Amino acid sequence: MNTEIERIDSLRSLLHRHNYNYYVLNDPEISDREFDMLMKELEELESRHPEHFDPNSPTRRVGSDLSGGFTQERHIYPMLSLANTYSIDDVDAWVKRVDEGLSGQEVTIVGEMKFDGSGISLIYEHGRLVRAVTRGDGEKGDVVTDNVRTIRSIPLQLQGEGWPDFFEIRGEIVLPWAAFERLNAEREAAGESLFANPRNAAAGTLKLLNPAEVARRGLDAYLYYLLGDNLPYDNHYDNMMAARSWGFKVSDAMTRLHSIADVDKYINYWDTARKELPVATDGLVFKVNSLRQQLNLGFTAKSPRWAVAYKFAAERALTRLRFVSFDVGRMGIITPVANLEPVLLSGTIVKRASLHNDDIMRTLGIHEGDMLYVEKGGEIIPKITGVDVDARQLGARPVEFVSHCPACGTQLIRVEGEAAWVCPNKEGCIPQIVGRIEHFVGRRMMNIDGIGEETAAQLFAHGLVRNPADLYDLQPHQLETIEGFAAKSAQRVVDGIAASREVPFERVVFALSIPYVGETTAKKVARAAGSIDRLMAMTTPELEAIEDVGPRIARTISAFFADAENQVMVARLRQAGVQMEIAEDHSSAPVSDTLSGKSFVISGVFSHHSRDEYKNMIERHGGKNVGSISKKTDYVLAGENMGPAKLEKAEKLGIPIISEDDFLKMIEE
Ligand code: IVH
């Protein structure tokens, strides 16, 4: 028994070290396999010893799906922003102001990258991560500790020596280019909207309620600011090097500069060299090194006088327009796309750039054969930002938006007040039909393996699937007639389709391709209605009463279900066995008053149902969920790995701690 506890401790420190070697130093000492085996051993031991729980154990990096919402916390020191400059001259002027402000003292400047992610504040006590808070409004931010724990390059337990007992370190959470591209490719395949840039993706990921999904996405973190009362050195650079020795990832680009000439050289070098970095940067930051001098210079209301940001110019290229094409989306929306002479921009070749809609195209005033400015800036999806009017060929005609659908020839319509032109031929326009099939099978919808964009098009072309409901009639031998399908892959698709009958109703609603009903709205609509019958019967005002549903969405939902073809599709899906009502646990209708007047605190990880499901059950049986244990709490519903502090408190107050089985028995009618 004791030896198992010792083994847990030694595995934890061993894994912390290997983790550091791999994620911070990029220099692993053991193979991935060996790492996984040690991790597995630790997981097993920890599950046998819940009493030896540690929120900072390396096993917690994989994330659990416990958290629900974020609490807010006030920053110890407000998180200010930096004054921006856009030219070498501006930076030089800042250096001179600093020199003057310090009346000619010797000044060392630290040059560093301005990482383009999401700012974070980490609090360490006794060498352990205790809290991670987003920038928020600068005064207070969201506590995202569970998500941040999954970021492998953030030490949960510091190594080395000399750290203050209590300190804060700030940095940037980033999503490296490679992870960003992988994530967007997955989202595209699943028919989800793409992240415009790694910054949005990092910020969005940090705010996910599911740390397991956060862990999967591959965030990274660079630290650049140490704060506290007992810092080891009197200057920024040495403090950051100390932080590096404690296990933090501090960029190698951080350098001390001793003159304006050094500063200029640094800018000129990184203006191009930054393109080779694995993460997005949007500029450089210059800071006065000495903490005493920082104190002397102080702050303005918004930013420190001792630091300045230099923003890189947006990357821009000039290239010729070959032609404008018009894409048709699954909702029939027509998007104009500029097809360009290939041009190199921030390391990738750009051939196409969205022109978004008619209004934007008109504002740009694009003519045939125009030379266009393409920009990436912080946005990864290139956009056309202007036209070189002087280079326009004589007699060039303006590019007109099409009046008819480029795919099916139907006259386009434009809804009053909307920017988009739409092809109304929902049932006869191939990209719309194929797009809906593709969306239906996507990972976040019905999650049918083995069908992607190409297969969806083939299924349609072979006359096998025209409407998502047709999928459920597919036989393996029919699939085998399609090129690229063998018996095995055909069976896999058919099995995938069969398994999709179990997909919860919320996702079915999303899969239907109701205009403007995205993933979140679909969930809310499905839960509010409870079943497809109820949803189809709901009046527009009833729909509008649902959170997130405004008049426009209410109208499109009503119109969708009023359509005869859609009614047939729904009927056939129902017949095929697709879920047409909410699984019991998600509906919020009261079931009994067995728990009336009882308040519950939920803690730990559960195996039969998710935490949210338990919360829901408590409410549906008349009970109340409360966040923290007090004298008034009636029960603590405890799963595995219940926090030790909660356990102690519950025991001290003599509040009964019940297991999930106890609870399920309790609510049995
Ligand atoms: S120092 C008081 N250093 O840029 C100075 N910030 O515009 C605090 N950022 O909110 C910031 N890289 O999120 C600093 N090397 C760097 C940075 C950096 C990126 C972000 C940070 C901050 C924003 C300021």
pLDDT tens string 518-555:
888 898 899 889 999 999 999 999 999 888 788 889 99
* pLDDT tens, residue by residue, 145-184: 999 999 999 999 999 999 999 999 999 999 999 999 889 8
What's the pLDDT at 345?
83
Among 120, 139, 222, 224, name the best residue to mutate to test ligand 1's pocket (greatest count of ligand atoms within 8 A of Cβ).
224
Residue nearest to atom 23 of ligand 1 (CA): 81
Catalytic site residue 383?
no
What's the pLDDT at 309?
95
- Residue ranges, the chain, pLDDT below 50: 65-68, 669
CA distances from 390 to 384, 386, 393, 394, 654 (A): 17, 12, 9, 10, 82
Strands 334-345 and 348-354: antiparallel
Counting every residue written for the chain, the total comes to: 669
What's the pLDDT at 86?
86
* Residues 6+ positions from 490 with CB-CB distance below 8 Å: 476, 477, 479, 480
State in Å: Cα 525 to ligand 1 middle.
40
Query: Quick check: CB of 119 below 6 Å from ligand 1?
Result: yes
Q: Which of 114, 287, 376, 646 is catalytic?
A: 114
Query: Quick check: CB of 302 below 6 Å from ligand 1?
Result: no
Burial of 619 (0-12, 13-18, 19+ CB in 10 A): middle
How far is residue 236's CA from residue 233's CA, in Å, rounded to a whole number?
Answer: 8
For residues 321 and 372, is the Cβ–Cβ distance under 8 A? yes
Look at residues 356, 307, 331, 344 and name the one whose alpha carbon lies nearest to residue 424. Answer: 331
Q: Under DSSP, is residue 508 helix (H, G, I), strand (E, B) or coil?
A: helix
Q: Under DSSP, is residue 18 helix (H, G, I), strand (E, B) or coil?
A: helix
Burial of 398 (0-12, 13-18, 19+ CB in 10 A): exposed
For residues 231 and 291, is the Cβ–Cβ distance under 8 A? yes
Query: Quick check: CB of 253 below 6 Å from ligand 1?
Result: no
How far is residue 571's CA from residue 576's CA, in Å, rounded to a whole number?
Answer: 9
How far is residue 433's CA from residue 425's CA, in Å, rounded to a whole number?
Answer: 10
What's the pLDDT at 347?
65
Residue nearest to atom 18 of ligand 1 (CA): 114
Atom of ligand 1 nearest to the CA of 309: 7
Burial 291-316 (b: 16+ CB within 10 A, else e): bebbebbeeeeeebbbbbbbbbeebe
What's the pLDDT at 259?
95
